[in-house]
Structure 1
Amino acid sequence: MGKILIENLRLFGFHGCMPEESLIGSHYTINLEIELDLNKASISDDLSQTVNYVDLYRIVKKEMSIRSKLIEHLAKRIVKKIKEHKKDSIKSTKIKICKENPPLKNMVDRVCIILEE
């Protein structure tokens, strides 16, 4: 077994329940952890034997462009698309999405959720 990690992916999005969040948007930081069998890829040096991290980035970027009220919902959509992409290879997925500068009058730096499946 092994893991592919994408750490501190920074994207901009318009997620949130407040009307102004759909207008001004916010910066987000995403961490992704995919567990899968990396044995074949480590021996064969063949990209088709693993999950391409560029594909993972594209999935996250595309889903970030679709507005959600809740980042929990956004996380679930991302995980679902990743599993659909390589359903036979992926054993588990963990995603952490942080909204930088949430609308809490500068009381916190960020708000994060973690979803594991």
Structure 2
Amino acid sequence: MKIQSSYIFLRNLRFHAFHGMLPQECITGNDYLVNVRIKFPLSEVFQTDCIADTISYADAYECIRREMEKPSQLLEHVAGRIGRCLIDSYPEVEEVDIEIMKINPPMGADCDGAGVELHLTNGKN
């Protein structure tokens, strides 16, 4: 059996953070949902059942949490930092998909949220 591609994901991570252009967003903050999908070769762990051969969900979460805690004006900047942190922490990462959604954004629209989605590739591979 051969693995064609493999991914690790963290879905619907919830944060209260202070990102945005409006002064009020920097004071009261907003709620966010973050989804991350990491393309990572799992063929070794498929055989070994050893955490050292994969990405720890907890470690990946810590990377995301640290970057979400840092206030930024733009979600694009936050998503880029998350991607950089994951790729720097795990050089074997091939690609990272990051989606950040601001719930109930202050733009006068009736919507679930607004946000960004990035697809990053590791230039080292």
Using the size of structure 2 for normalisation, the TM-score is: 0.90
Determine the C-alpha separation between the residues in 1 that align with 2:106 and 2:112.
10
Determine the C-alpha separation between the residues in 1 that align with 2:23 and 2:82.
23
Give the 5 Å matches for 1:1-117: 1-87=5-91, 89-117=92-120
Determine the C-alpha separation between the residues in 2 that align with 1:12 and 1:90.
27
Identical amino acids, percent of aligned pairs: 31
SS, match of residue 107 in structure 1 = coil
Query: What is the number of residues matched between the two proteins?
Result: 116
| 1:53-107 per-position Cα deviation (integer Å, ceiling 9, x unaligned) | 11110011111110010000000000001111011x1000000000001002353
Using the size of structure 1 for normalisation, the TM-score is: 0.96
Determine the C-alpha separation between the residues in 1 that align with 2:14 and 2:109.
20
State the AA in 2 paired with 1:95. I
State the AA in 2 paired with 1:75. A
Determine the C-alpha separation between the residues in 2 that align with 1:97 and 1:36.
21
Post-superposition offset of 1:42:
1.0
Determine the C-alpha separation between the residues in 2 that align with 1:59 and 1:12.
16
In the alignment, structure 2 segments of 5+ residues that lack a partner are 121-125
Structure 1 runs of 4+ with >3 Å offset: none
SS, match of residue 80 in structure 2 = helix
State the AA in 1 paired with 2:70. I
SS, match of residue 90 in structure 1 = coil
